[in-house]
Structure 1
Amino acid sequence: MSEMQNNEERDCVKYFKYSQDDIIEILTEYIAKEHGYGTFYSKAELKGSVGKDLRLLMAVGTLDEDERVENVDLEQLDKNMDFNGSHK
């Protein structure tokens, strides 16, 4: 295999390492966009343990709803809300 082919194969694989804050930002931006928000205000937190019960708790609203979103109790949301993702 030529060196050029090796370089092309390496360029096809990308590696990433994200912090907790980066993960939350990526998820909140994705979810907000999927639900039609252009600009938005959100509050989010990761809870649980990897491979066991990891979950994202999140409230999102328009910029005008910032105070309402900020006042959401994510602990209560965690206790009282069912999962609404499509994966089990």
Structure 2
Amino acid sequence: HEHVKVVGSLNLVQSLLREKLFDRLDLWVHPILLGVGKKVFDGGTVPTNVTLLEPPAAGPKGTVFLRYGLADGTPATGDMSAPGRGV
């Protein structure tokens, strides 16, 4: 199928990430805290290098939509510092 949407099946999401069986990853980040539960990026998850495909979009209640694409190479971390930004 051209479009596969997964809601609630973290086992499938982790398998797709581990095997790099995706072209695009759409992530919706909701500003709620639920406490304990299953983690998307739990211990043993294989690092996957992705790149942001478009600017983040935020909804009026704080939900943020992020669209990533699979990228070559080894994942690296960065920092949030930017010129003119007080930290």
TM-score where L is the length of structure 1: 0.22
Larger Rg: 1
Which has more strand, going by share of residues? Answer: 2
Higher RCO (CA 8 Å, separation ≥ 6 residues): 2
TM-score where L is the length of structure 2: 0.22
